[in-house]
Chains A and B, each alone.
Chain A
């Protein structure tokens, strides 16, 4: 799976680096001073690298926990995110990471304890329940068998009843969660799309039915579930497709276990969008009715509103309003 492991010299002998080296004994091991030497150079092509990404092991020194935009909230006033990893093993064509990073290599920060300290401090300083999002720059669970980050971090959240963590995923790597008792302050949020859109746009990700199977297992063992219908993608028959899709999903959902549902249409900062179009000019998603000249590229405003209204109305037939959150980005 991993052919090349880049490791910062300073953490070469860190126990997690050693364990990961042992996990990939065939990989070429290359040392570097700082991960940015490998990850940041301009002369890189995300699309070509995505065909066989390498893993970079690094140490993070600051900005462990950052404030998340309020428009992404799932019921909390204080929202934060952290990224123990950069990049994702899946290859979703709508993902902003392709436009944000020059490299498709995965970066894993191995100093988990420093994340713990920052999270704990943030919780203690917050006068309201704090919500932490772990799946912003990566999928929260997809590489869990290699990183063990969630297994390491969840016990921290057991100590606090005023802190919530959202694990956002398309993965079926749920073993580490099934091995422990469900935590009511840990929301496992599945990003879902209709079958045909998932097949066309969410490359390398598990199918919708596999994600729903994983979701159901977690639900049955008491984990709070989140559903993330973001991005909603336009196609000529989107109303029929999303209507059937919502029914298909909610046939598997126990509303008592459902923490939240969020909804958003496809949108992307213009700079990222332009980078991605250069990488994938033949992609149908980018040939749709998009307003490309806006600072935040999205569907033309009337269409966007129609799509949101339609999906919101359909969802409100299935769930109470207080569980639905609409995501949007304002620039």
Chain B
């Protein structure tokens, strides 16, 4: 699942349309839209709101390992309205703390340093983007997954020539809609990375048949991984149906693993 955090409804609207996200019944606190793969939350403006939105989504599924994307608009010293950046460095203007999102994939647009400020910015340093959410988002979301799966994508809405005061909801919607191809390329990359983190599903089959203590669950997980590594075939819980309890299952599984061939391809 990919969690997308936006500040404003107008930032979210093109994504809701593109990915056919359905709005949840009214919940306290946040508006949430989702489909099978994406959950989008409209956080409101500011770092605290972004952090709270991340915590809200994760809190609904504390064990979940999700990809995270902060998507929205930003000001920039040099770039034109409508250009997009990914943040390679996020700085909190108040605390001076920095985060460096790792991007082990081809990014769909240029990258830039992004400074999160408390008030809309009117002075822009060269080569730097400004927003009001990313540091709160990053500080919180990176607690729930590794940095490669926590990314920040911004479309430039204001610069020296066009101040933040001139940014309308309509303009925001337009410039984000115009970058949907880049956004989709990034989302596909995040899905690919996220898939590499998923655990083997067989453990659930075993848990349905027998009760495993927490330490036995760890042992079972590791044995199933070893089985898969050595046999290259999936294992079925039904194959152990004659075992009375979890201890007997673990013993039988270990015995079978030891008997499997151990080779590394052709000589």
Contacts and interface: CB of A to CB of B under 8 A. Distances in A.
Interface of A: 3-4, 6, 28, 30-33, 37-38, 41, 43-45, 47-54, 103, 105, 194-197, 199-201, 233-237, 241, 244, 277, 281-284, 286-289
Among A30, A43, A45, A282, chain B packs the most CB atoms within 10 A around the CB of A43
A97 B146 CA distance: 18
A37 to B, nearest CB: 6
A52 B103 contact: yes
B106 A3 contact: yes
B217 interface: no
B100 A30 contact: yes
A237 B263 CA distance: 8
A44 B104 contact: no
A282 B228 contact: yes
Interface stretch (B16-24, B173-181, B254-262): B254-262
A52 B230 contact: no
B182 interface: no
B229 A235 contact: no
Interface residues of B, number: 43
A281 B221 CA distance: 10
A205 to B, nearest CB: 15
List the 3 closest A-B pairs by CB distance, nearest first.
A287-B229, A287-B226, A45-B146
B113 A30 contact: yes
Interface in B48-83: none
A287 B230 contact: yes
Contacts of A38: 100
B102 A6 contact: no
Given A30-B88, A51-B105, A284-B229, A44 B148 contact: yes
B122 interface: no
A286 to B, nearest CB: 7
Given A43-B150, A48-B193, A195-B267, A54 B225 contact: no
Given A28-B111, A105-B102, A4 B88 contact: yes
A48 B148 CA distance: 7
B225 A287 contact: yes
A294 to B, nearest CB: 16
A50 B146 CA distance: 13
B246 interface: no
Nearest to B225: A281
A306 B113 CA distance: 56
A236 B262 contact: yes
Nearest to A47: B196
Given A33-B98, A45-B147, A287-B225, 12 more contacts: A4-B88, A4-B103, A32-B100, A45-B197, A49-B102, A49-B148, A200-B264, A236-B263, A283-B229, A286-B226, A287-B226, A287-B227
Interface string B216-240: 0000001001111110000000000
B100 A37 contact: yes
A96 B100 CA distance: 25
A279 to B, nearest CB: 10
Contact of B88 (A28, A105, A287): A28
A50 B150 CA distance: 16
B147 A43 contact: yes
Interface in B204-226: 222, 225-226
Q: Which of A37, A194, A233 has most chain B Cβ within 10 Å?
A: A37
Contacts of B199: 281
